Structure 1
Amino acid sequence: MRSKASITLLSVGHACVDVYQGAVASLVPFLVAERAYGYAAASGVVLAAALLSSVAQPLFGALTDRRPAPWLLPAGTLLAGLGIALSGSSDSYALTLLCVAVSGAGVAAYHPESARVARLAGEGSHSAMGWFSLGGNAGFALAPLLVTAVVGTGGLRWTPLLVLPALVGAALNGAVLRAPERRRHLTGTAPAAGADDGASFLKLSLAVVCRSVVFTGLSSFLSLYAAQRLGGSTAAGTAALSVLYLGGAVGSVLGGRLAGRWDRVTVCRWSYLLSVAAVAGVVFVPGPALYLCVALTSAGLYVPFSLQVTLGQDYLPTRVGTASGVTLGLTVSVGGLASPLIGRVADATSLRTALAPLVLLPALAWLLFRALPEPAGPGGRAGAPAAAAAQRAVPKS
C-alpha cells in the first residue's frame, strides 16, 4: 500500500477515534436532561474520560517504545467506541463513569502508537503528519453533530449506535496494518538519530501546555463571549466557535506545507507570534472583526500542532512512543484543568478579564521556541530531501 493511501486511511481512522474524545462533552447536556445530573456530576463524567486518557497515554507510549504494538490502533478504536456506546445503557452513575473511563483508555491506547505508525507510513513527511492530525481535529469537531443526531433523536438509549464510527475506524486501521508491503515496515521502529535531548523536550512540552490552555480556554468560553460582544446572539457565538474549529483544519495541513520550506522551529515560532496578536484581537477588538481574529487565532494555534508531535519524536528518538504520548496526551490535558479557573475569574470579574491573560501564553510559547534547536533527525533539516520526496506521496489539498 502506497504512502498516500496509508496516510489517508490513517487520517480517517484518526477521525473515527477522536469523535469519542468530543462525544463525552457532547453527551453532558443529555445526561443532565434525562438523569438530572448536577454540574458536579456532569463535570465528573468529563473528567473521568479526560484524565484517564491523558495520564495513560505516556504509559502506553512507554510500553510501545519497548515493543511496537500496531494492533493497538484497531483495538483502541473499538474500546473507545464501546465505552461511549454503553454509556447511556444504564442509569447508574458509577457505571456511566466506568464506561466513559473505558472509552478514555481506548483513546489513550490508540494515540501514541498511531503517531509512531503515521510517522513511519509518511516516511518522515511533515505534510503526512499534518494530514494525520487533520483527521483527529475533524473527528473532534464532528462529535457534537453526531451525538446530537443520534441521542437528540432517540435519547440516551440510542447510544449503542455511536459504536459505528469505531467499527469503520478499526476496519480502516486494520487495512493499513494488513497490507503485505506495509506490515513489516509498520511493526518495526524508525532508526534512532542520535541521543535524546531531554532539556529541549521539556521546553517543547511547556510550549504545548501554553497552546493547550489558550485553545481550551477559548473553546470553552468563546461562544458566550462572542454572543456578549455581538449583541447577545447565540447564532453569533456558534458561528465564532465554528470558525475556531474550521480554522484548525486549514492550520493542520498548512503547518506541514510550511515546514517543507522552513524548519519546524521557525514555523512554530512565527505561528505563536501571530497568535499573540490574534488572541489579543479576540479579547479586545470590537464588532464583526472578532471573526477575523478568531480565524487567525485558530490558524496560529493549529499550524504548530502536528509539527510539535514530530519535534517531540526527534528530541526523544529512542522513546518515540513516550514523546507522542506526552505531546498528544498529558500536556494537552492541562488546558482542561485550567478552564475551571478561567470560569471562576469570570464569575468574580468579567469574561473579558478572565480571557485577557490568555494573550500572554502564546508569547511564552514563542520565547520557549526561541531556545529550541531544530533537530537533525528524520524530520529535521538534515532529513529535508527525504521529507520533500515523501511529501509528494501525500494527498493534495
Structure 2
Amino acid sequence: MRKNASITLLSVGHACVDVYQGAVASLVPFFVAERAYDYAAVSGVVLAASLLSSVVQPLFGALTDRWPMPWLLPAGMLLGGLGVALSGVSGSYALTLAFVALSGVGVAAYHPESARVARLVAGGSGHRAMGWFSLGGNLGFATAPLLVTTVVAGGGLALTPLLVLPALVGSVLCVPVLRALERRQPPGPGAAVTTGGDDKASFVKLSLAVVCRSIVFIGLGTFISLYAKERMAGSTAAGTAALLVLYLGGAVGSVLGGALADRWDRVTVCRWSCLVTVGSVAGVVFVPGPALYLFVAATSIGLYVPFSLQVTLGQDYLPSRVGTAGGITLGLAVSIGGLVSPLIGCVADATSLRTALAPLVLMPALGWLLFRTLPEPVPPSRSGTVTPVPGGDSAVAASPTRPDHR
C-alpha cells in the first residue's frame, strides 16, 4: 500500500475516533435540556471523559514502547464508540459518568499507538503527513456537533446508540494499513521510529505548553455553545454553530501547521501561533456580537497550527520512547485540560460564564513563554545521535551525515 493511501486511511480512522472526543462536548446542551444538568454537572461529564484518558494514555504509550500493539487502533475505536453510544441510555448521572469514562479509555488506547504507526508510515519526519493525520482528528471533532445534533435532536438521548457507527467504520478502515505495515516492519519493539539521546527537560517544557493549549481548547469546547447561546439571544443553533466553527478551524490549523513547518522550524511556528491565540481568545471573551464567530475561528486555527508539530517535537525530544511521548503529548497533556473544566463551571455558576472564561486568555501567553525556551531538534538518524541545543541547532554524534530538518 502506498504511503499516501495509508495516511489517508489513518486520517479517516483518526476522524472516526475523535468524533467521540467532540461528541461529549456536543452532548452537553442535550444533557442540560433533557436532564437539567447545571454547569458543574456538565463539567463533571467532560471531566469523566478526560480523567481516565489523562492517566491511562501514557501507560498505553509505555506499553507500546516495549511491544507493538497495532490492534489497539480498532479496539480503541470500538471502546470509544461504545461508551458514547451508551451515555444516553440511562438517566442515572453515575452511569453517564461511567460510560463517558469508558469512551475516554478507548480514545486513550488508540492515540499513542496510532501516532507511532502514523510516524512510521510517514517515514520518520513527514510534517505534512502528520499534519494530514491530525487533520482527520480535527475533522472528527468538527463532525461531532452535526452528527450528535442529527442523531439526538429528533429522538432525544435515547438515540445515542446510533453514535457507535463511526467506530465500526473506522475499525474496518485501519485494518489494511496495519496489515501493510506488518509486512514492511520486522517483529520487534514498538518504539523504534528513531534512536538517539533523550532531552527530558525540553520534553517537560513542551508538555507544559501542551497543557496550556489544552486548557483553552477544552474550556471553550465545553462552554462555547452555551456562551454563544447567551450572546445570541438564546439560540441553540447559534451555540451549535460556534462549536462547529471551533472544530472546523482546527482542521484548517492542522494542515497549515505542517506547511509552515516545512518553511520555518516547528518551535518558531508554535511560538507565533501562541501569540496569535492570545488576541483571539480575548476577542472571544470580550468582543460582543456576531464577531464572536471570527474570533472562535482564529482561536481554533491558532490552537491547532502547533498540534501535529507538538507530537513530532515530543517524539524527537524522547526518540527512545516515542510511545510514551505520544501518550503524553496526545493524551496526558491534552486531556488534563478537562480537569480545569469543573473549576470553570463552578466559577460560572457563582458569577457569569464570561468571567469564568476570561482567565483562558493567559494560557497561550504562558505557552509562548515556554516555547521561547525550547530548541528545535533535528530528528535523529538510525546511525547517530542528535542532541538539541538552544537556538534551534543540533549537534550530531557518531553520524556520518546530518539530516536536514528544514
Question: Is the aligned partner of 1:142 residue 2:115?
Answer: no
Question: Is the aligned partner of 1:20 residue 2:27?
Answer: no
**Could you state the TM-score of these two structures normalised by the residue count of structure 1?**
0.86
8 Å Cα contact 2:50/2:336 also seen in 1: no
1:250 paired residue number: 252
1:330 paired residue number: 332
How many angstroms apart in 1 are the aligned matches of 2:73 and 2:227? 38
* Cα distance, 1:272–1:27 mapped onto 2, change above 3 Å: closer
1:95 Cα deviation (Å)?
A: 4.7
Q: CA-to-partner distance for each residue in 1:60-108, whole Å, 9 max, x for gaps?
A: 0010011111111111112222333344455665554443333222111
1:237 Cα deviation (Å)?
A: 4.3
Q: Which amino acid in 2 is paired with 1:24?
A: V
1:386 Cα deviation (Å)?
A: 7.5
Q: Which amino acid in 2 is paired with 1:274?
A: V
* Cα distance, 1:186–1:20 mapped onto 2, change above 3 Å: farther
How many angstroms apart in 1 are the aligned matches of 2:405 and 2:104? 33
2:75 paired residue number: 75
2:298 paired residue number: 296
Question: Is the aligned partner of 1:168 residue 2:166?
Answer: no
How many angstroms apart in 1 are the aligned matches of 2:352 and 2:183? 54
How many angstroms apart in 2 are the aligned matches of 1:41 and 1:234? 19
1:129 paired residue number: 130
* Cα distance, 1:32–1:266 mapped onto 2, change above 3 Å: closer
Which structure has the highest helix share of the two? 1
Q: Which amino acid in 2 is paired with 1:212?
A: S
1:104 paired residue number: 104
* Cα distance, 1:375–1:349 mapped onto 2, change above 3 Å: same
How many angstroms apart in 2 are the aligned matches of 1:131 and 1:144? 21
Q: Which amino acid in 1 is paired with 2:250?
A: G
1:4 Cα deviation (Å)?
A: 0.4
1:344 paired residue number: 346
Q: Which amino acid in 1 is paired with 2:342?
A: P
Question: Which shows bigger deviation, 342-351 or 49-58?
Answer: 342-351
* Cα distance, 1:29–1:284 mapped onto 2, change above 3 Å: closer
Q: Which amino acid in 2 is paired with 1:319?
A: R
How many angstroms apart in 2 are the aligned matches of 1:34 and 1:140? 23
8 Å Cα contact 1:121/1:186 also seen in 2: no
Q: Identify the match of residue 313 of structure 1 among 296, 315, 319.
A: 315
Question: Which shows bigger deviation, 169-178 or 240-249?
Answer: 240-249
Segments of structure 1 that go 5 or more residues without pairing to the other structure are 389-397
Q: Percent identity?
A: 77
* Cα distance, 1:279–1:53 mapped onto 2, change above 3 Å: same
* Cα distance, 1:49–1:287 mapped onto 2, change above 3 Å: closer
Question: Which shows bigger deviation, 88-97 or 105-114?
Answer: 88-97
8 Å Cα contact 1:73/1:173 also seen in 2: yes
1:202 paired residue number: 204
How many angstroms apart in 2 are the aligned matches of 1:91 and 1:222? 25
Question: Which shows bigger deviation, 94-103 or 363-372?
Answer: 94-103
How many angstroms apart in 1 are the aligned matches of 2:142 and 2:68? 30
8 Å Cα contact 1:50/1:333 also seen in 2: yes
1:190 paired residue number: 192
1:274 Cα deviation (Å)?
A: 1.3
Q: Which amino acid in 1 is paired with 2:136?
A: G
* Cα distance, 1:370–1:82 mapped onto 2, change above 3 Å: same
Aligned with 2:306: secondary structure?
helix
* Cα distance, 1:46–1:338 mapped onto 2, change above 3 Å: closer
2:397 paired residue number: none
Question: Is the aligned partner of 1:177 residue 2:178?
Answer: yes
8 Å Cα contact 2:145/2:243 also seen in 1: no
Report matched runs for 1:210-289 at 5 Å: 210-229=212-231, 235-289=237-291
Question: Which shows bigger deviation, 286-295 or 1-10?
Answer: 286-295
2:115 paired residue number: 115
How many angstroms apart in 1 are the aligned matches of 2:209 and 2:198? 18
| Aligned residue-pair number | 388
2:60 paired residue number: 60
How many angstroms apart in 2 are the aligned matches of 1:281 and 1:41? 27
Q: Which amino acid in 2 is paired with 1:69?
A: M
Q: Which amino acid in 1 is paired with 2:275?
A: L
1:395 paired residue number: none
How many angstroms apart in 2 are the aligned matches of 1:33 and 1:96? 15
8 Å Cα contact 1:263/1:381 also seen in 2: no
Segments of structure 2 that go 5 or more residues without pairing to the other structure are 382-391, 395-400
How many angstroms apart in 2 are the aligned matches of 1:33 and 1:237? 13
Aligned with 2:280: secondary structure?
helix
How many angstroms apart in 2 are the aligned matches of 1:299 and 1:368? 19
1:333 Cα deviation (Å)?
A: 2.2
* Cα distance, 1:139–1:378 mapped onto 2, change above 3 Å: farther
1:332 Cα deviation (Å)?
A: 1.6
Q: CA-to-partner distance for each residue in 1:300-344, whole Å, 9 max, x for gaps?
A: 111011111111111111111111111111112232222232333
